[in-house]
Every structure is written in C-alpha cells, then in structure tokens.
Structure 1
Amino acid sequence: MSDKNASSSVVTSLPGTNSAQAARGFVRSVNDWVMECALEDTDISEILNGMVRRLVAAGIPIDRVMVAFKTLHPLYEGVSYVWSKDSNSVERSTHMGVRDDDPDWADSPLKWMADSDVSFMRRHLIGPGAVLDFPILESFRRNRGTDYYALMTPFVTDRDSTLGSNRIFMTYMTRRPSGFSDEDLATLSGIQRRFAVSCKMRINHEETKTILETYLGSDAGGRVRNGQIKLGDSTKTRAVIWFSDMRNSSSVATHVGDDAFLGEMNDFFSATAGAVLKHGGQVLRYIGDATLAIFPIDENENNVETACVSALYAAAEAQLNIDQLNATREESGKPPFDYGLGMHVGDVIYGNVGVPERVDFTVVGQAANEAARIEQLTKQLGKRVLVSQTVASFISCPTVEMGAYELQGTGVSVKLFAPDFSEACHRLELMRAG
C-alpha cells in the first residue's frame, strides 16, 4: 500500500501532533496490540478496556464506547459491552432477542445502518449542526454528549452453515464541546477492522464453547474442547449417578399429540434436569425421556458427602418443580407428570464411545447400569426416588429401608432406601420465597 493510500485510509494526524506519520504509527501500534490479543484469545471486555486506555492516552476524547453483536446461545441472541468514563469499566449485557417490534432496536441507529448497509454514521448532538433523528441520541445529549460516531463491520459467521452474516457494531460518544475532530474519526476508523477481527475470533471461541456445553454439558464440553475427541479417550470418575425417567410418557403423548409432545418433554426436563444443573450436577445425556447425570466426586473421599447432599437437594428441587407443574397441568386438563429416579455411587468411565467417525461422550460402566436398574424398581416399589445404601448413608434426610433387591441383568444385590424430602423441600421453598 502506498503512503498516499495509507494516509487516506488511516488517519492524517493526531491531536497535538499535526503529524500524519505519527498518526499512522499510533494506529499501527494499536492494531498490532489488538492482533496480539486475538492470538492470545483475550476476552472482548479486556480488549475493549485496553484499547480505550490507549485511545484516551493519545488524546482522543472518548466518554462512552459500546460494542455489540449477535451470538449463538440457547438463552440469548445478542451481547453488548459498554465502557464509560464515569465508571472507568466495561459492563457486559446479554439481550434476549432483536425484534422489529422492540422500539429500542426498531428505532435505533444500528438497525438503520444494518438495513441500509451503511458502515458508519456520525451525528453532532449539539449546536446548529445537531441531528437527533433517533431517540437514543436525545438521551446521549441529555447525558451531556456532544458527538456520536457509529461503525459497522460485517463478517461471515460460518460459510458452511446457513447462519449467514453477523456484524460488529461499535459506537463512540464524547462530551468535548467541539466534538470529535476529523483526525479522531480517522483514527477510530483505522483500528475498527482489526478490532472486529479480534472480536470475531473470540465470538467463534465462545460459540464453540457454548455449542459443546449445550450438547455435552460443561465438563464434557471442556474435555472435548481440550482434545479428548478420539474413540476410547476416557477418564475414570467417581460420582453420584442420577438416572431419572418419565413414567407416563405414553399417556402424555396420547393426550397432547406427537406435535406438542416435544414441548411437554422440555417442560419435564426443565423440572428434573434443570434441578440437577441448579445444584451443581452435570447432565450427560437425554435418552428418550430419561436423564443420565452425575455429581462428581474428586480425589478427596470426604467430598462423597458433598456430592450426595447436592444430589439430595436436586432431587427435592425436582419434586417441587414437578408438583408445581402438575398443579398447573390439572387446571388445563393435562395428565400429570410422574417419574422415577435412581441414585447410586460408584466408579464410571467418562469418555467417548461409538465409532471413530461418530462418537458420543457419556458415562458407561457397572455403576451406571446399576443406577438405571435402581430407577426401574421405583415403579415396582411405589416410590418416586430410590437410592443405594451409600447415598443413604451420606444424606441427612430420613429414609425408609426398602430391602435388598437384585438389579436386573447385573447379578448384583443392592439395599435400597426411599428418602423423605419433606425437610429439604421446606428449606427450598423458604429460599424461593426469600
């Protein structure tokens, strides 16, 4: 690139220097630093904070910066980072959705830029040249803002998918009476694309992490991301094993029909598997309408009690959730949910099974099979929850001894107990009320 092109595309001078060469050197130094952050997989909030410090040190009068983009996540659709001079910190926020009927988005300059395919926008907020054609600009002026500059950098999310394009939005506001100078704007434009590249790399990292954790669970997703992807890669893990299953799925499916049954299953899993996650467990698999989960025990055997108590409160939480759901379902004429839950302690193999081209990350082993067989006995014994003697010995709630039973297909006889969750449920209800 020639000096002439570099000058016109980057910046002509910096405040106080009147030197195009110094300006280009500053932009290059910031861009180099931003790319180092990309290579080191630095969090966006850290990149933004560091970049703003460098811009302010160079004399650019920044009072507020926002970075925003869409993301792939089951709980929200957008993320924004806002740095403000008042707090001298970066605040991260998530956004449920970007809808045209949401006035904050529908009347925003960012939507107009996206719809018009305009890569930048500048608005004076005071003086004879002021243009306040979007509601948020009025709020910026009330906050003593004098000038506003917005940039949009489109990028391809995944060329092999149908997700299409994404955009990095970046907005700057200043309170300096004279607003941004042309040199200020040129500098901000000169670092935008490198900053967007760094953001894209971090976005891809976060989306990969989200996908793995959503489909595999937090621990399994982390293991796969760290390279445990080959058939046979495994780790022996000691854990409290949770196996729960919907008892009356056929009657529920018959009542609501096939099309609505998926929503019914999600309600059921939200009540049961959701309780596992809330109390520190890891959901490994959904097997039809059943859930396989674990509460890991680390090398310190004293943590068996901690894992068992966590599993106890998860089971109590699930019972409360199902009972509340059933009260609502009764009002709407739907059949109640019911379930069986078996819990056991043992060593399991935590890793990859399948064929080399298609593996599944799960728990296998004798203890996992025994937990599933314990659950099968809940219907026979008329109890929602049955636990093995090891679990019963580490939980504080009352239990009823049900006797020893041979677990089908295992050749193992296990003494089973039915816990009474009344006290645990009462504590959870108090916590919810408080």
Structure 2
Amino acid sequence: MSSFLNKAGTAVEAGEGVWPVRRRRILDWLVNETRGERFIDNILVEMCEKLLASGVPVARATLHFRMNHPQWIGARILWKEGLAEAKINTFAYGIENTPEFLKSPVNAIHQGAEEVRKQLEDTADDEDSFYQELRDDGLTEYIAWPVEHTFGKRHVATFSTSRPGGFTNEHVDFLRDLLPALTLVSEIRLKNIMARTLLQTYVGPHASEQILSGVTTRGSGATVGAAIMICDLRDFTEISDLWPRDDVIHLLNDYFDAMSDPIERYGGEILKFMGDGLLAIFPLSKDTACHDLLQAIREGQALMAQLNQQYASNGREPLRYGVGVHVGDVMYGNIGSRRRLDFTVIGPAVNVASRLETLTKEVKRPVLLSRAFVEMADCAKDMDSLGTFPLRGLGEPVDVFAFPER
C-alpha cells in the first residue's frame, strides 16, 4: 500500500486519512500562505491547481461577487482546467432582471438556496441553456454554494467536473470544507478592491493611489506642474428652479458624461465635481498633456453638440457651458479640517483657470485659454487671440485666446 508524509512528517497510508490531510494542506495554504497575494483571481487559480494535485477533479470554478461600483453590479472570476490565468467578467446594472439571470443557479443562491447541485449527464427535461453550455464543454456535474461575507453579504462559489459520474461524496466534502477559509480570504481581497474602487470613484485614480499609499494627513502633498481645466454649466440656477428634480439630475449626468469621458480617455484626472462644474488636471509629467487636454475639450464639445441635438428634438433649450484653461504649478494634496479632508489642487494657476472660465460669460466664447497654455501647447496659430484682460484678484492682465468660431 502506498503512503506519503503529512506536514508533521508522519507517514499516512493511502485510503486511510488521505483526504483530511490533503484538505488540511490546502486550508493551511489558504489561511497562512496567501498573505502576499493581493488578487483573489490568482488565489482561485492556485487553489484549483492544488485541488487537482490533491485528486479533486475540478475542471471549472467560478467566484461571483456583488460589487459597490458605479457601473457594475457584479463580477465573475472564471477558471478552467489548463488556464494559467482566470478570466474576469463584469456585469452592468440591469442584468439581475434578465430571464437568464433570474433562472440561474447564482440567483438561486442569492435568493437563499444553500446549495445548487446539477448532474449534467442527465439531460431529461432540461432545456436550460446554461447547463447545456456546461455539457458542451464536457462537464458532468455542477455545484454552487454561497460565500457569506460580513453583514449578510452573499456571494457565490461554483465548482464543476468532467469526471464520469461527477464528483464523489469525498470530493464534495473536500470542497465544502474549503468554503470558510475561501470566504475569509475572498472577503479581505474584495474589501481591498471595494476600497480602491470607491476611492477611484470619488477622488480619481491618482488621488486614490496617493491615499491608499498613506498620504492621509492634512497638508501632505506635493507641487506638480499641470494643465488645468475648469468647466461650468451656464444658467444652471434657473434650470434647477424650473425643472423637476429628477430631470435636473439626469441633465447633470448627461452633461458630465459628455465632458468627463474624453478627459479620462485622454489621461486627465477629474479631481472634483462642484455642483454644475468640474476641475480636472493633466499632469505635465506626460509630454502630451497639453495636446491631450485640447483633444478632450474638442471631443467634449462634439458630444455636447450631440446632446443638444437630442434636447432640441425634445423641445428643450441647448445647454451652454464655459471652459477655462491654464498651465502652471499647483499644490496637490490634502486640505481641510482635522476630520474631513479633500484631496485637491490649489494655487495661482488654478485661480487663473477659474477666472478664465468666468470670463467666458463676458466674451461669449465657450473655451478660453491663457497665453502660457497656448505657448506650451504650441497652438497659437490655431486659436483666436482675444487680447489682454484683467482678471479679478490677479495682479497682471492675461493674454486670452479662444477656440476659433465655426
């Protein structure tokens, strides 16, 4: 009879205590040896490889997580035998109402089921397309279990096999016993992801990385060179007084989508939304920062034009806006009270951009740029020179340029 050594060095005979020892090895690894791995998808891959090496014939495994994200309601991490990396799919809000999801085993778990187990070799009276896809992949059994996180947050883990006859009872017990450790390990990683996602959502990707790296004390930060863009919606006070609340919120979201998507696409960072305005920077550490800002504005204008066409077709007045652009050094960091901080930029360069945005109301041009920006961007020949203007609170007048009128 063959044997192997357990962790303590004691010989264990095959067929007598083998499964508990193998299970303990994976449990010990999950609890004690995954501390250095940040990502749950990598842990899932390695766990499945260890399961195969231990004799558990897993051919497919998934983790399904609900998320706190502005775009995605959830994500699925999928591993299949032979894959070196797991595949991650995100799912938009609304999928929870589709017929496919409502009859899925994942939804059954969310609705309170403690286990969904399906023998895939039995095709009698089964027309479910999901299970048919698993059969087409050569799988013979599917099991789904809840993964219970803190405060009743319920997620889902699934395992499938291609072994003829499906999993044995020993295999199922082996997998089920891993769930508490997998729950603990996955909750830690998921909370890290949620923290990062929420910070990115509310303060932007760069600021979120700064905060997560420990830049959390008042006054902490750095001086950086940046192209600065401040945008503001015109006549918003009148709109908010006259329009229904939900329509005002919808309008703001449409406007911010049009102006913000190009900013983020071209590498800018939106530091804050201020009512009906936004503040964004393009750090000069990137050589193309000024060019990227100009491209973002042009694309934003095109999207606003499309939005105004939709509004006109519905009998609404077009939305008007003003954009001020400048370049210079800014203090980038934490400012605020002892208990409530804002990660933002301040400095004379920000003030110039703000004053230029205000000046758009007077000169009736939607985008105004300072000479300093135009010279750095080397785009003076493409702009209209409007002359020199005194700006409130600033000592020296500023040479002002505008996008050409069409």
Q: Same fold (TM over 0.5)?
A: yes
Give 2:155's aligned residue: 168
What is aligned with 2:384?
Answer: 400
Aligned to 2:61: 65
The SS at the match of 1:42 is: coil
1:122 aligns with 2:117: yes
Letter in 2 for 1:173: S
Where 1:407 maps in the other structure, the secondary structure is coil
Q: What letter matches 1:126 in structure 2?
A: E
Residue identity in the other structure for 1:253: S
What code does the residue aligned with 2:193 have? E
* 2:272 partner amino acid: R
Q: TM-score, normalised by structure 1?
A: 0.85
Which of 179, 186, 204 is equivalent to 1:217?
204
Q: Distance in 2 between matches of 1:366 and 1:232?
A: 17
Q: Alpha carbons of 1:180 and 1:133: their partners in 2 closer, same or farther (altered >3 Å)?
A: farther
User: Where do residues 411-426 of structure 1 align in structure 2 (5 Å cutoff)?
Assistant: 411-420=395-404
Q: Secondary structure at the match of 2:153?
A: strand
1:77 aligned counterpart, secondary structure? strand
Alignment of 1:230 onto 2:225: no
The alpha-carbon deviation at position 61 of structure 1 amounts to 1.5
- Secondary structure of 2:351's match? helix
Deviation, 1:255, is: 4.5
- Residue of structure 2 equivalent to 1:366: 348
Aligned equivalent of 2:75: 79
1:362 counterpart SS class:
strand
1:18 equivalent to 2:2? Answer no
**Structure 1 equivalent of residue 295 of structure 2:** 313
Quote how far apart the aligned CAs of 1:133 are.
8.6
Partner of 1:91: 87
Give the aligned partner of residue 44 of structure 1.
40
SS of aligned partner of 2:158: strand
**Matched-pair identity in %:** 29
Contact 1:217/1:283, CA 8 A, preserved across alignment: yes
Q: Displacement, 1:306?
A: 0.9
CA distance in 2, matches of 1:68, 1:51: 16
Q: Distance in 2 between matches of 1:42 and 1:391?
A: 41
Partner of 1:326: 308
Query: 2:62, 2:77 within 8 Å by CA — same for their partners in 1?
Result: yes
Matched, 1:244 2:244: no
> Structure 1 runs of 4+ off > 4 angstroms?
130-135
Contact 2:37 2:43 in 1 (8 A): no
Determine the C-alpha separation between the residues in 2 that align with 1:265 and 1:126: 53
Judge conservation of contact 1:69–1:166 (CA < 8 Å) in 2: no
* Range with greater deviation from structure 2 (184-193 or 365-374): 184-193
Q: Give the 3-state SS of the residue equivalent to 1:221 in structure 2.
A: helix
- Give the letter aligned to residue 319 of structure 1: Q
CA distance, structure 2, for counterparts of residue 90 and residue 100 of structure 1: 23
**Which structure 2 residue ranges, 5 or more long, are not aligned?**
1-11
For 2:138, what is the secondary structure of its paired residue? coil
Deviation at 1:365, TM superposition (A): 0.8
Partner of 2:3: none
Partner residue of 1:108? 104
1:140 has 2:134 as partner:
yes
* Structure 1 Cα separation of the partners of residues 404 and 248 of structure 2: 31
Contact 1:65 1:171 in 2 (8 A): yes
1:6 is aligned to none
User: Gapped runs of 5+ residues in structure 1?
Assistant: 1-13, 158-164, 423-434
Q: Tell me, yes or no, if the aligned pair for 1:251 and 1:335 is still in contact at 8 Å.
A: no
Deviates further, 222-231 or 27-36: 27-36
Residue 107 (structure 1) shift = 0.7
**Is 2:335 aligned against 1:341?**
no
Alpha-carbon distance in structure 1 between the residues aligned to 2:307 and 2:335: 36
Contact 2:227 2:327 in 1 (8 A): yes
Query: Deviation digits for residues 49-99 of structure 1, max 9, x if unmatched?
Result: 101111111222122111112010000111101111265541100111366
RMSD (Å) for aligned C-alpha atoms: 2.3
For 2:312 and 2:94, how far apart are their aligned partners in 1?
A: 35
Aligned length: 393
**Helix, strand or coil at the partner of 2:365:** coil
SS in 1 for 2:97: coil
Residues 100-109 or 204-213, more deviating: 100-109
Deviations 1:241-287 (A, max 9, x none): 11111122134334523442122111111111222112110001112
Aligned to 1:200: 187
Shift of 1:292: 0.8
Say whether the 8 Å CA contact 1:82–1:90 is kept in structure 2: yes
The one-character-per-residue Cα deviations of 1:316-340 (angstroms, maximum 9, x if unpaired) are: 0111011110011000011111111
Amino acid at match of 2:220: D
Q: How far, CA to CA, are the matches of 1:263 and 1:37 in structure 2?
A: 48
Partners of 2:277 and 2:356 in 1: CA distance: 13
Q: Secondary structure at the match of 1:230?
A: coil
Query: TM-score normalised to the size of structure 2?
Result: 0.90
SS at match of 2:393: coil
**Amino acid of the residue matched to residue 100 of structure 2?**
D
